[in-house]
Amino acid sequence: MATFSHEPIFEAACEAGEIPGAVLVAADATGKFKYSKAFGKTAHGETLSTDSVMWIASSAKLMTSVAALQQVERGHIGLDEDIAKFLPEFAKLPVVKEFDQDGKPVYEERKVPITLRHMLRHTGGQSSPMFSPKVHQLVQALGPPSTPPRTIVAEHWEPLVFQPGSEWVYGSGYAWAGKLIERLSGLSLEDYMRANVWDPLGMRQVTFFSPDSNPEMKARKVGMSARDESGKLVPTTEGYIDLYGEKEEAYAGTGAWGSAESYLLLLQSLCANDGRVLGKELVDEMFRPQLGPEAKASMNHQIKTIDIARRVYANSFDMDHQVLDHGLGGAIGTRDEVGRRRAGTMSWGGLPNLIWWIDRTAGLCGTLFTNVVPAGDVRVSRLEGLFEKAVYEQYEEFKKQA
């Protein structure tokens, strides 16, 4: 029986209260090599299993990218087509050029169209106060909305912070991409995903609605853990954002729930490029580095120099060594990581310290689910790297015996 070197380390981390527990799954492109194991308990005392249902937050972006690219494949929109006729609310947003001496924004007209490609690689120009100092200043100048927004159109009204394509900033492009999918398909995002992504792959434990509406998922749902100021893990009911029920519609970038074992089915399909939910050419396009020189420099500058960006966006890439690009669904490492992910690997994650990767060169993919806040936990990132190394080590042994 294979011995995975990360397992005693994860068990010790759970015992010591470094993490509240973790679900780890991995597979190769053929499906012949698989790994699946859960460790520990949540701070609520719930024992984790590989089918535990958690809020997956930005891990929803990958399946949203697949769904959006299906619309390209079906001829409903082009990757580089102006989205104005489908999302006029997004397209009418101006660009903030600067702020005057009184702190008020000075706008300029948008000079190039916003496209689906921009939206999926975070170069559309729209962001939020959390991720952009310019948007933070803008919101301070204009003031908060009079009532809490409950729709994507009402919430993501902020003007663009740069001309589309010229820079990179993490923002709301995937929320708008979900709205685009609904308008092109005529279906709700939940119904579209279930018919075109989840059911074809057998992803039974995924939803954009409350998991409590599905008895099977409700029974598997686990609570959020939080690390307090002293470093102790405590149970919490906070830390969630963009959840259906609090909002009137599904937020495609952040609003989904699911299990690690269901999510792995999507990772494996893309790793194998098996054509089950998206044609081979568009999967290849997903994994092609998409950024121009200025946007690439912008992305790497943020992740290398801003502590929170480094902890949250790097998703266990070693940013002392790595140079990132962005594909249509996640960040792409352009250099090998020693003993694990190869150059060309796509990776992203979710706010409560979820991290996934797809390495098409090595033929391996996997994910770690933890469900702990705040985001960017350095302990989780370190442990995920050890998990990856163990998987790569055992995969090499597996190939020798095959």
Q: Which residues are tagged catalytic?
A: 58
Residue 240 Rama label (left phi>0; alpha psi -120 to 50; beta): beta
Query: For residue 294, how many other CB atoms are within 10 A of its CB?
Result: 14
User: Would you call the peptide bond into 144 cis, given omega within 30 degrees of 0 as the criterion?
Assistant: no
Query: For residue 365, how many other CB atoms are within 10 A of its CB?
Result: 28
Query: For residue 361, how many other CB atoms are within 10 A of its CB?
Result: 12
By DSSP bridging, strand 53-55 and strand 34-39 are unpaired
Residues 6+ apart with CB under 8 A from 144: none
Please, how many CA atoms are within 13 Å of residue 315, restricted to the half-sphere of its CB? 27
Determine the number of helices (DSSP H) and then strands (DSSP E) in the chain: 15, 15
Q: What are the φ and ψ backbone dihedral angles of 179, each rounded to 5 degrees?
A: -65, -40
Run of H or E including 233:
strand 233-236
Residues 6+ apart with CB under 8 A from 308: 376
CA distance linking residue 1 with residue 395, whole number of Å: 13
Distances (CA, A) of 363 to 183, 272, 282: 35, 7, 18
What tokens appear for 215 in the block?
A: 């008895």
CA distance linking residue 106 with residue 261, whole number of Å: 48
CA distance linking residue 10 with residue 259, whole number of Å: 19
- Going by the DSSP 8-state scheme, the letter that residue 316 receives in this structure is T
CA distance linking residue 278 with residue 274, whole number of Å: 8
DSSP helix/strand/coil, 66: helix
CA distance linking residue 275 with residue 279, whole number of Å: 5
251, 152 contact by CB (below 8 A): yes
